[in-house]
Structure 1
Amino acid sequence: MSKESKTSNSKELSPEQHEEILGKLKDRFEKNMDRHKDLEWANIHAKLEANTEKLWSLSEMERTEGEPDVIGHDKETDEYIYCDCSKESPKGRRSVCYDREALESRKQHKPENTAIDMAADMGIEILTEEQYRGLQKFGNFDLKTSSWVKTPDNIRKLGGAIFCDRRYDTVFVYHNGAESYYAARGFRGSLRV
């Protein structure tokens, strides 16, 4: 898949990109059955074919090296839950501060983007702390990196934001000024299809 989508503002995939992302998603699904026992690719494939904009979002998750995979199925809504399953925080989403307000508050050395803006542009949701902890049940993620997570309003109003990582076989939650950014901190997202 090329580094850019069909056009910079388009949320459509070319036929080649469409087939390529479906192939990658199917391969990852089949190689990681422990993440989605009792789920069948045919059902997920049908949902993806019926939701091309969400397939575009998954393509963006893949392009930014998130390695999206199915980690659950919401039986009430009949939605499959995709999440970034890359071992470390996705490379194409690092060195970002938390949100637009934080970016604008920086006087100098501003990052190129924010976690919240990137997630919105990609059509995905940034993980909550609870979702991040749930992901960790499928493996050891962020052993060398960290990931911004959805910050509660009361913390954000005071200028802070939270992020998580895994060290010493434990998931840790930390805080930073929302305007901070680091080469080893990105964010993970989820998408319901």
Structure 2
Amino acid sequence: MFTGIIKGLGRVAALEAQGGDTRIVIDAAQTDLGTVALGDSIAVNGVCLTAVALDGATFAADVSTETLSLTTLGALEVGSAVNLEGALRAGEPLGGHMVSGHVDGFGVLEAREQDARSWRLVFSVPPHLSRFFAPKGSVCVDGISLTVNEVEGDRFGVNIVPHTMSHTTLGERAVGDRVNLEIDVIARYLARLVETR
């Protein structure tokens, strides 16, 4: 589990073909991921990956074709910035919300405008996910825990404070860019309970 509180940015150092899958190597020199060990989970742009190799400030993770096709990881290039968060450990504060690292789909940045020192971003979502969004609910965008400000049809808006804008990949996102979305786990289970009644 994760919290959606980004620990820092990493950079893609290498993308290596591995029998049809891809091994991604991330330079995490600017990020404090704590004491990461082989086999630990690390969220990369909100996708839960397993550290399979460690070398100084870099780690490697294997990414399946399934994950490459269903997340934005398939569009990464060497040098791309990524949001990083190590797994939540017992006793650590839960600063964001409960995040599993299992991406539900893509969102698309539809609008971006400054609002005082903050930024207002509007994302569109696939129709089958729109019912999971509620004003003042939680959403995870590229691994970042955010509060939903408003919902209109298949779009939702968020407010991004300066710290988040400068310390995550949201500062680099342009209108038309795709992002990884993970809906709130509570909304997911409530919806399933309602469906089975």
> Do Structure 1 and Structure 2 share a fold, with TM-score over 0.5?
no
More helix by share: 1
TM-score (norm 2): 0.32
More strand by share: 2
TM-score (norm 1): 0.33
